[in-house]
A = this chain, B = another copy of it.
């Protein structure tokens, strides 16, 4: 049995030798705390994916740089061919000619084409025709990237900063709250919570438990959902104290799957709570208020709790 568990753990490329505490499988933002080595660059990189997921400043910096470099390149070509083969070049020094060529290139690649400057002979015409085609393709690409960046689906689920151990019915439960702050409507929301901690009998190895939830799926998710694992007879948390949790380096891995009605796409969200992110003997404040024929919810109060005695 023990061997089996170890194999399972190892299979997933997670750590099986946790003699020292402080191990975290999932970062708070849902990314894996795993680094990959020796992956050839070309295998690792998905250019589209990178360009779609990078920040807007990085994205625009890359765009501007590409635009600048390509114009430098074509300006050089026009200068090499000779700016006397372009009409309307007014510069006389090499630098001025290069500048004029640079802006002619910019007018060509964006298909702006004022026409003050225009190609006169065969080579300049060929370069200009090629450049304008290339410009259109590059902007085709930029269009796709813009769309990809904007339409990229993501679950905007926000987690309560802390998980709680609070009374639940006549026992206790581990609970945390999630909220959908966006206007996107999420439906058919499914949650799964896995507990990872050091083995009681062997702190060198880790054990994993899929926790039973009060409810693991809701069809409608208007705004807020408190996910509860009742610490019942079969719960691996039964009899585990706050100190035990710290000592055994517990981590609650949360995995939420939902359907984003706005984008008609399935989205996922992952997060985790470490032992020091669990509060004992606190309960979430009730945030729903009557509002005409409907209700209103104070989403900002997601982290509000009050002291309560545990069962």
Instruction: With both chains docked as a complex, state the minimum distance between the C-beta of A252 and any C-beta of chain B, in angstroms.
Output: 14
Contacts of A35 in B (CB 8 A): 291, 294-297
Asked if A3 is at the interface (CB within 8 A of a chain B CB), the reply is yes
Contacts A147-B147, A264-B266 given: A111-B111 contact, CB under 8 Å?
Answer: yes
Could you say which of A77-85, A182-190, A197-205, A236-244 contacts chain B? A182-190
**B264 adjacent to A153 (CB under 8 Å):** yes
Contacts of A279 in B (CB 8 A): none
Q: Which residue on B lies nearest to A24, using beta carbons?
A: B293
Asked if A171 is at the interface (CB within 8 A of a chain B CB), the reply is no
Complex Cα distance A140/B144, Å? 8
Q: Which residue on B lies nearest to A142, using beta carbons?
A: B140
Contacts A67-B133, A184-B46 given: A144-B141 contact, CB under 8 Å?
Answer: no
Instruction: With both chains docked as a complex, state the minimum distance between the C-beta of A51 and any C-beta of chain B, in angstroms.
Output: 8
Q: Which residue on B lies nearest to A124, using beta carbons?
A: B103
Instruction: With both chains docked as a complex, state the minimum distance between the C-beta of A130 and any C-beta of chain B, in angstroms.
Output: 9
Chain A residues 135 to 154 lying within 8 A of chain B, measured CB to CB, are 135-137, 139-148, 150-153
Q: Which residue on B lies nearest to A175, using beta carbons?
A: B11
Size bracket of the A interface: 35 or more
Chain A residues 106 to 137 lying within 8 A of chain B, measured CB to CB, are 106-108, 110-116, 118-120, 122, 125, 128-129, 132-133, 135-137
Complex A-B: 23 CB contacts under 8 Å: A11-B228, A15-B290, A15-B294, A20-B290, A23-B293, A24-B293, A24-B294, A34-B295, A35-B291, A35-B294, A39-B181, A43-B156, A49-B182, A99-B122, A106-B133, A107-B128, A110-B111, A112-B112, A112-B113, A113-B114, A141-B146, A152-B264, A264-B267
| Known A24-B294, A143-B147; 10 more pairs at CB < 8 Å | A4-B169, A12-B222, A13-B287, A22-B293, A32-B222, A34-B222, A38-B301, A110-B132, A143-B144, A147-B147
